[in-house]
């Protein structure tokens, strides 16, 4: 048995700045799910309009990611993946034709199951372009990752292991803010239910799109 699913999510992101701090507010504008993604039927409708908040470091790293709507399976997935939609910039900032790499480890929950994602990413910044009347720097990031987790979210012990690939295309403004990001993700995993003696191969694809709301 193979579980296949495709999820598309669109987020509207607002970045608010003060003299020393930068914060992010995101609103889920729409969610589309095709196939068996394992989300409860009501999760899609309840995720639309959900809010996510975070602080943004000067390198682009997100900290303190929270949502009053956590507990929804789709929102929990976004809480895990949102840090990778925004680029981690070098300490001196990104320049055209620059390439850099980083590694991250993210902990969170999806559908109540604790998960750990370890990711290795290579970023490449391209020359400035003009798009929709604005000067933007395209940055393409290619990542491989491992996911693992185990727990008993619904009374039955579950173990998950898998590997994935993600390609993210971002467009940054001259002051380092994100204008748009589109991430395509493929996860090849195994879902084990030891109590039932069941092993389920899982193949999931997801497309997440972020657009910045002008302030």
The bridge status of strand 3-17 relative to strand 198-212 is parallel
> Quick one: pLDDT at residue 171?
92
Per-domain residue ranges for the chain?
3-212
Confirm if 177 and 213 have CB atoms less than 8 A apart.
Answer: no
> Quick one: pLDDT at residue 20?
67
Distance CA 68, CA 155 (A): 25
Convert the pLDDT of each residue in 140-182 to its tens digit. 999 999 999 999 987 889 999 999 999 999 998 887 777 888 8
Distance CA 175, CA 28 (A): 25
DSSP class of residue 7 equals: E
> Quick one: pLDDT at residue 158?
94
Q: In the chain, which stretches have pLDDT less than 70?
A: 1-4, 19-20, 37-38, 58-60, 214-215
> Quick one: pLDDT at residue 178?
79
Distance CA 50, CA 12 (A): 11
The bridge status of strand 99-110 relative to strand 62-66 is unpaired
> Quick one: pLDDT at residue 146?
97
Confirm if 87 and 172 have CB atoms less than 8 A apart.
Answer: yes
Convert the pLDDT of each residue in 50-64 to its tens digit. 999 998 876 667 888
Reported as type and span, the H/E element at residue 161 is: strand 158-172
Confirm if 103 and 119 have CB atoms less than 8 A apart.
Answer: yes
> Quick one: pLDDT at residue 48?
92
Please provide the distance, in angstroms rounded to a whole number, between the alpha carbons at the two ends of the chain.
48
SS3 (DSSP) at 198? strand
pTM, 2 dp: 0.78
């Amino acid at each position: 048995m193979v579980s296949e699913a495709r999820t598309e999510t669109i987020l509207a992101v607002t970045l608010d700045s003060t003299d020393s701090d930068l914060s992010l507010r995101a609103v889920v504008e729409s969610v589309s799910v095709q196939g068996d993604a394992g989300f409860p039927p009501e999760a899609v409708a309840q995720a639309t309009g959900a809010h996510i908040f975070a602080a943004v470091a000067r390198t682009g790293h997100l900290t303190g990611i929270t949502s009053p709507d956590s507990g929804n399976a789709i929102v929990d997935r976004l809480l895990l993946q949102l840090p990778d939609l925004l680029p981690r910039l070098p300490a001196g900032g990104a320049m055209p034709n620059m390439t850099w790499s980083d590694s991250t480890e993210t902990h969170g929950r999806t559908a109540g199951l604790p998960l750990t994602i370890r990711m290795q990413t290579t970023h490449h910044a391209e020359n400035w372009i003009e798009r929709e009347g604005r000067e933007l720097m395209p940055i393409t990031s290619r990542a491989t990752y491992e996911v693992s987790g185990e727990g008993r979210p619904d009374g039955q012990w579950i173990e998950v292991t898998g590997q994935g690939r993600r390609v993210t295309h971002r467009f940054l403004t001259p002051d380092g803010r994100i204008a748009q990001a589109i991430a395509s993700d493929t996860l090849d995993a195994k879902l084990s239910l030891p109590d039932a003696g069941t092993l389920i191969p899982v193949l999931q694809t997801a497309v997440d799109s972020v657009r910045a709301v002008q302030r």
